[in-house]
């Protein structure tokens, strides 16, 4: 730039000082808009976090209320099915305790009683049939002894 151009710019700003003022006002307005955008973004993130936290609190309270209601229902069921209450309900319906001579057994021809699997001897037979390979019955010392003996025989 030559001196004449610089003098021309200085002269232009001296004649119209409002240009410098307009630049300052533009810069200040730009800063205000940038700060407003940052503040808006901050408020949006903060409000979303607050809303999510409140939803979590509501769901936790709902879970707690559901667990309490479930426990109450389980308690009611336990009291309704207790032996004393069931006996009283049966008596109210006209039932009475059975005497030992009143029992009648019905014999069904061809019916055989099945034994439960737990009492059957099948699992014991299956275990005895299983054979464990000798490699798994050998201790570390036995294995090392066998290796030493076989290696010493190979050298001679």
Tens digits of residue pLDDT in 49-83 = 999 999 999 999 999 999 999 999 999 999 999 99
- Tens of pLDDT, residue by residue over 6-19, are 777 777 667 766 67
Angle (CA) 94-95-97 rounded to 5° is: 145
The domain total for the chain is: 1
26 found inside a domain:
yes
| Angstrom distance (rounded) from CA 85 to CA 82 | 5
If DSSP codes are grouped into helix, strand and coil, which group holds residue 46? helix
124 found inside a domain:
no
62 found inside a domain:
yes
Confidence class for position 120, pLDDT limits 50, 70, 90: low
Instruction: Let me know: does 66 contact 72? Beta carbons within 8 Å.
Output: no
Instruction: Let me know: does 127 contact 121? Beta carbons within 8 Å.
Output: no
- What are the tokens at 7? 């003098």
pLDDT attached to residue 41: 96
pLDDT at 23 over 90: no
Mean model confidence pLDDT for the chain: 85
If DSSP codes are grouped into helix, strand and coil, which group holds residue 114? coil
130 found inside a domain:
no
44 found inside a domain:
yes
122 found inside a domain:
no
34 found inside a domain:
yes
pLDDT attached to residue 8: 75
Predicted TM-score of the model (pTM): 0.43
Maximum Cα–Cα distance across the chain: 134
pLDDT attached to residue 121: 55
Domain span at 40:
3-88
Distances (CA, A) of 33 to 18, 20, 76: 22, 20, 64
Instruction: Let me know: does 40 contact 46? Beta carbons within 8 Å.
Output: no
149 found inside a domain:
no
| Helical axes 3-15 vs 18-80, angle rounded to 10° | 70
Q: CB-side exposure of 101: number of CA atoms within 13 Å?
A: 0
- What are the tokens at 96? 């009475």
pLDDT attached to residue 71: 97
């Amino acid at each position: 730039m030559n001196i004449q151009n610089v003098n021309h710019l200085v002269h232009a700003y001296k004649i119209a000082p409002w240009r410098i003022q307009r630049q300052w006002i533009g810069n200040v307005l730009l800063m205000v808009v940038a700060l407003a955008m940052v503040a808006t973004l901050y408020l949006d993130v903060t409000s979303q976090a607050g809303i999510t936290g409140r939803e979590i609190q509501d769901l936790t309270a709902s879970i707690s209320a559901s667990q309490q209601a479930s426990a109450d229902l389980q308690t009611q069921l336990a009291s309704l099915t207790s032996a004393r209450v069931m006996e009283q309900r049966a008596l109210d319906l006209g039932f009475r305790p059975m005497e030992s001579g009143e029992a009648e057994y019905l014999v069904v021809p061809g019916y055989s009683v099945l034994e439960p699997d737990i009492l059957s001897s099948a699992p014991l037979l299956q275990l005895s049939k299983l054979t464990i390979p000798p490699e798994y019955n050998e201790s570390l010392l036995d294995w090392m002894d066998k290796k030493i003996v076989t290696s010493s025989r190979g050298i001679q």
